């Protein structure tokens, strides 16, 4: 069944009582049928289509219009299937995604969710930040998307400062400032506002997902969904299994990641997860190498880009991330694993102390 708002014509594939966007009345529509006219089975992954095997179906609807649709299920020629995409039905319970925090990562996640077809509610405590996030998404889409499609995507996003609007969200992704107490407080509120079926995710880079989950009535409903910056370009999502996360929620998180055209990897709830644990030890070592004075920053970066085939050298990358952020992550790793290899090196600490933090202050290993 399809549910459509009588006023703004937005549609849902599950029952909503009132339109989430304009509060208009919602009516039930019978979904149309399409006939499978052609099937191509794809066994080899390609950029943007990493999950295989899948089928490209050539579908003809009841008005003679053709469309190509990706499907992960088996089909026969001549089969009648619902005009509503199977994948949309499969993750129907996540057709509205709430994003709490409209900063760097929140706006990127909101953009890819809306591009994928989700309705998106973006919340920030500051109206100005929520509004700016929409402008940022508009700008980003202008570079890659035609005007009418861009408008269609933007129409799926609503920016607000009211947490209670999350009551309609099926998945809420928390993307707040990295502060355990703040995140706990917001999750407590979300737990009261949202339905008992809402799934919660956190984009935290360093905090314990298990500890966060314990403020919820059902801690099994929280999973870590760790996106990378810049979100629209980076293909990886780390899915963090807390000590409490249910298997169903892990599977659901994978499904959402695939829907967003990302590749998920699952890992346990330990400091640094996978990528930051490996990366920061490498950046720290590069900074220590720089400190011995035998190579310039440019030569260390050149050695890594050409010798290891990395797209960017470790010192340029540290400048991009921000040396204060690098040190903060190393502190978390050192605190968590109590091993000297994670201790921020002397030069990194000195540069942070001095306030030469990289690009954001105009100087780090390079001048900007």
- Residues annotated as catalytic are 205, 226, 238, 276
CA–CA–CA angle 173, 178, 183 (5° rounding): 55
CB of 33 to ligand NAD, least distance (A): 43
Measured CA to CA, the distance from residue 319 to residue 301 in angstroms comes to 12
Nearer to ligand NAD, 35 or 160 (CB): 160
Using CB under 6 A, pick the residue from 34, 94, 129, 318 that binds ligand NAD. 129
Residue 176 binds ligand NAD (CB under 6 A): yes
Using CB under 6 A, pick the residue from 56, 165, 178, 261 that binds ligand NAD. 178
Binding part of the chain for ligand NAD, among 178-186, 256-264, 289-297, 340-348 by CB under 6 A, reads 178-186
Using CB under 6 A, pick the residue from 24, 103, 220, 232 that binds ligand NAD. 103
Residue 264 binds ligand NAD (CB under 6 A): no
| Cβ-closest position to ligand NAD | 103
Q: What share of the chain is helix, strand, coil (3-state, %, to 5)?
A: 40, 25, 35
CA–CA–CA angle 6, 11, 17 (5° rounding): 65
Q: Are strands 222-227 and 236-241 parallel, antiparallel or unpaired?
A: antiparallel
Binding part of the chain for ligand NAD, among 3-11, 96-104, 257-265, 310-318 by CB under 6 A, reads 96-104
Binding part of the chain for ligand NAD, among 39-47, 74-82, 169-177, 331-339 by CB under 6 A, reads 169-177
Measured CA to CA, the distance from residue 320 to residue 291 in angstroms comes to 19
Using CB under 6 A, pick the residue from 21, 97, 121, 124 that binds ligand NAD. 124
Q: Pick the closest to residue 204 from 238, 233, 170, 231 (CA basis).
A: 238
Q: Report CA-CA distances (Å) from 67 to 34, 36, 282, 366.
A: 9, 10, 47, 51
Nearer to ligand NAD, 5 or 105 (CB): 105
Residue 225 binds ligand NAD (CB under 6 A): no
CB of 336 to ligand NAD, least distance (A): 15
Q: Write the CB contacts of 2 (distance below 8 Å, at least 6 apart in sequence).
A: 11, 12, 13, 28, 29, 30, 31, 84
* Residue 288 burial (CB count, 10 A): 14
Using CB under 6 A, pick the residue from 111, 203, 210, 242 that binds ligand NAD. 203
Residues that bind ligand NAD (CB under 6 A): 100-106, 123-126, 129, 175-178, 182, 186, 203-205, 227, 229
């Amino acid at each position: 069944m399809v549910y459509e708002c009588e006023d703004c014509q937005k549609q849902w594939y599950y029952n909503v009582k009132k339109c989430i966007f304009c509060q208009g009345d919602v009516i039930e529509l019978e979904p149309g049928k399409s006939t499978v006219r052609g099937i191509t089975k794809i066994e080899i992954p390609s950029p943007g289509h990493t999950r295989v095997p899948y089928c490209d179906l050539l579908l003809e609807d009841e008005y003679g219009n053709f469309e190509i649709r990706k499907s992960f299920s088996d089909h026969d020629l001549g089969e009648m299937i619902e005009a509503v995409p199977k994948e949309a039905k499969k993750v129907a319970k996540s057709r509205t995604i709430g994003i709490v925090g409209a900063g760097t990562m929140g706006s990127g996640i909101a953009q890819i969710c809306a591009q994928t077809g989700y309705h998106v509610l973006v919340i920030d405590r500051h109206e100005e930040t929520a509004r700016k996030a929409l402008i940022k998404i508009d700008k980003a889409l202008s570079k890659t998307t035609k005007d009418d499609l861009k408008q269609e995507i933007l129409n799926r996003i609503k920016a607000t400062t009211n947490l209670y609007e999350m009551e309609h969200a099926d998945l809420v992704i928390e993307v707040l400032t990295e502060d355990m107490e703040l995140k706990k407080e917001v999750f407590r509120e979300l737990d009261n506002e949202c339905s008992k079926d809402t799934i919660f995710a956190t984009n935290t880079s360093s905090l314990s997902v298990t500890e966060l989950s314990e403020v919820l009535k059902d801690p099994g409903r929280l999973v870590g969904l760790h996106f990378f910056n810049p979100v629209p370009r980076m293909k990886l999502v780390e899915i963090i299994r807390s000590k409490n996360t249910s298997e169903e929620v892990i599977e659901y998180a994978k499904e959402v990641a695939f829907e967003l055209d990302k590749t998920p990897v699952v890992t346990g709830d330990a400091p640094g997860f996978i990528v930051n644990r490996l990366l920061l030890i490498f950046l720290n070592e590069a900074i220590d190498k720089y400190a011995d004075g035998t190579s310039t920053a440019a030569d260390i970066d050149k050695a890594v880009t050409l010798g290891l085939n990395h797209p960017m050298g470790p010192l340029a990358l540290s400048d991009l991330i921000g040396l204060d952020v690098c040190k903060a992550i190393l502190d978390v790793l050192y605190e968590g694993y109590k091993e000297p290899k994670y201790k921020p090196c002397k030069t990194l600490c000195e540069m942070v102390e001095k306030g030469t933090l990289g690009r954001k202050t105009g100087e780090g290993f390079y001048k900007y």
